Chains A and B, each alone.
Chain A
């Protein structure tokens, strides 16, 4: 029903050939953290935020796995986890 393998953005141009494929991540924000400020700080470390989930206090974005560790120490970030795939099975039980 699930694979633990993180989601890859499948971007693999020549420019990025020497780097690991970017992976989609979920950033969980600390209470009261400003999403825009955290996104800016993340961008400075190579994380590209693609959407803000304001109701949930989260950011979604992509980053290279090799550089994402540095993002976890940014103020306002409480967790940074890879997005996981979910797949319904082809038949019962569902």
Chain B
């Protein structure tokens, strides 16, 4: 177990190697653990146990030693084998098992043992052992990382996990599509601003997180009375492993969160309130600014200049393209502020990676998962599914935060790198730009 926690990748390699290609091809699961299972003759259990004690004096434990209690790893510490008296079997470590096999014919031990077989790993029916082990290794890696949390972080380029192996642990479709679940990066050290309806500070998934906030709506605190802002924040920066049977829904789970309330509890705002929030986010040097909002007209000089000033300060703004289309017949142009050339416009995809019917077109730069997105909402509901380019945008913003952490790139360099790493899609660039945003691995 410690080996697995220390180096799950190496452990996985060993296990997959021992599994063997033929075994996988045949659907078999002849993956040996290295231990042996001795089956005693029913009328010679005492004799068999005595033989094992001769083999390894003092180091063979018995289920009867536990007196009805659960048999624990701690209780077996130092033992080289365990006899299950009620079952008439014993499990031996590799050395003792091999020694037991060496008893010659005619010995009392041979007479007491009816079988000496390798212990094998067992897998749930219908599960590919190789896939199962990859998932297991991913889980072990996650535990290792969690145990190591608080030191280091960062790291170099990953090994490029092409298959979403840790989906075994549960991820939303959006997290899997952008491959945030296999990324080694977390957003640590990166400030990501979500300019929206605020945030629910009572949400337990965010307890302990660094959250800086300010309201630009007169008479209203930053507390989210709408739900849109809490949902977008969850997608951009929600936890790696939500409590309970909840899939991972957040991309940059260690990013520093900046909440700027620029839309009211009824979802309304003005260019002035939005610009005030942008000014605040830039003043705080938020490397990534996510804006799931938009209005008609433009491009406006003020949004274009705001985007440029942000870039000059090392901040990249990503904004939603808008939801006014009704494809395939009606394709509306990108809204403001996303239609400003200094701001990155994000379109929405559905779970089949098609352009979402509502997603606006025009100067699109990137696309993200937008339909049926599961994320956090204010308590007591806690989670909900929402659809729109508003949901696509924080996926892109979260991936930008990971990339900013991994590469140190900022502003237009970060923007270009995010586009370069996008997964191309067989769709018009006016609909999806460079394609599906991807998390750096």
Least CB separation from B356: chain A residue: A93
Interface-forming stretch among A13-21, A40-48, A56-64? A56-64
Q: Residues of B contacting A54 with CB < 8 Å?
A: 279, 283
* Number of B positions contacting A (CB below 8 A): 47
Q: Residues of A contacting B428 with CB < 8 Å?
A: none
Q: Residues of B contacting A79 with CB < 8 Å?
A: 300-302, 305
CB-based A-B contact count at 8 angstroms:
128
Q: If the complex has contacts A55-B282, A57-B305, A60-B275, are A2 and B296 also in contact, measured as CB distance less than 8 A?
A: yes
Q: How far is the CA of A78 from the CA of B279 in the complex (A)?
A: 18
Is A51 a contact of B276 with CB atoms below 8 Å?
yes
Q: How far is the CA of A82 from the CA of B377 in the complex (A)?
A: 33
Is A86 a contact of B293 with CB atoms below 8 Å?
yes
Q: How far is the CA of A88 from the CA of B371 in the complex (A)?
A: 17
For window 1-36 of A, CB contacts with B under 8 Å fall at: 1-4, 7, 24, 26, 28
Is A55 a contact of B309 with CB atoms below 8 Å?
yes
Q: Is B270 an interface position by the 8 A CB rule?
A: yes
Is B272 a contact of A24 with CB atoms below 8 Å?
yes
Overall SS of chain B's interface: mixed
Q: Is B226 an interface position by the 8 A CB rule?
A: yes
Is B197 a contact of A93 with CB atoms below 8 Å?
no
A42, chain B: closest CB distance, angstroms = 15
Is A1 a contact of B387 with CB atoms below 8 Å?
no
Least CB separation from A60: chain B residue: B272
Is A89 a contact of B313 with CB atoms below 8 Å?
no
Chain A 66-89 near chain B by CB (<8 Å), digits 1 or 0: 000000000000110101111111
Q: How far is the CA of A51 from the CA of B269 in the complex (A)?
A: 17
Q: Residues of A contacting B324 with CB < 8 Å?
A: 1
Q: Is B92 an interface position by the 8 A CB rule?
A: no
Is B270 a contact of A24 with CB atoms below 8 Å?
yes
Chain A residues near B (Cβ < 8 Å): 1-4, 7, 24, 26, 28, 51, 53-58, 60, 78-79, 81, 83-90, 92-94
Chain B 395-435 near chain A by CB (<8 Å), digits 1 or 0: 00000000000000000000000000000000000000000
The answer, among B267, B271, B305, B389, for a CB contact under 8 Å with A84, is B271
Q: If the complex has contacts A1-B295, A2-B297, are A86 and B263 also in contact, measured as CB distance less than 8 A?
A: yes
Q: If the complex has contacts A55-B313, A57-B309, A60-B272, are A94 and B297 also in contact, measured as CB distance less than 8 A?
A: no
Q: How far is the CA of A33 from the CA of B163 in the complex (A)?
A: 53
Is A83 a contact of B305 with CB atoms below 8 Å?
no
Q: Residues of B contacting A94 with CB < 8 Å?
A: 228, 292, 323, 386-388, 390-391
Least CB separation from B226: chain A residue: A88
Q: Residues of A contacting B356 with CB < 8 Å?
A: 93
Q: Is B187 an interface position by the 8 A CB rule?
A: no
Chain B 304-330 near chain A by CB (<8 Å), digits 1 or 0: 011001100100000000111000000
Q: Residues of B contacting A86 with CB < 8 Å?
A: 263, 268-271, 274, 293-295
Q: How far is the CA of A51 from the CA of B323 in the complex (A)?
A: 32
Q: Residues of A contacting B82 with CB < 8 Å?
A: none
Q: Is B358 an interface position by the 8 A CB rule?
A: yes
The answer, among B276, B282, B305, B322, for a CB contact under 8 Å with A1, is B322
Least CB separation from B279: chain A residue: A53
| 26 sampled A-B residue pairs with Cβ under 8 A | A2-B295, A2-B297, A2-B335, A7-B272, A26-B272, A28-B305, A53-B276, A53-B278, A53-B279, A54-B283, A56-B279, A56-B305, A56-B306, A56-B310, A57-B305, A58-B275, A58-B279, A58-B302, A58-B305, A60-B272, A84-B295, A88-B226, A93-B370, A93-B389, A94-B386, A94-B388
Q: How far is the CA of A85 from the CA of B271 in the complex (A)?
A: 6
Q: Is B336 an interface position by the 8 A CB rule?
A: yes
Q: Residues of A contacting B310 with CB < 8 Å?
A: 56
The answer, among A57, A83, A88, for a CB contact under 8 Å with B270, is A83
Is B323 a contact of A60 with CB atoms below 8 Å?
no
16 new A-B contacts at CB < 8 Å, known A53-B279, A85-B270: A3-B296, A4-B296, A7-B272, A28-B301, A53-B275, A55-B309, A58-B279, A84-B271, A84-B336, A85-B269, A85-B295, A86-B268, A86-B293, A89-B267, A93-B388, A94-B390
A54, chain B: closest CB distance, angstroms = 7
Q: Residues of B contacting A58 with CB < 8 Å?
A: 275, 279, 302, 305-306
Q: If the complex has contacts A4-B296, A26-B275, are A78 and B301 also in contact, measured as CB distance less than 8 A?
A: yes
B177, chain A: closest CB distance, angstroms = 18
B17, chain A: closest CB distance, angstroms = 48
Q: How far is the CA of A8 from the CA of B403 in the complex (A)?
A: 42
Q: Residues of A contacting B275 with CB < 8 Å?
A: 26, 53, 56, 58, 60
B417, chain A: closest CB distance, angstroms = 24
Q: How far is the CA of A84 from the CA of B299 in the complex (A)?
A: 12
Q: Residues of A contacting B270 with CB < 8 Å?
A: 7, 24, 83-86
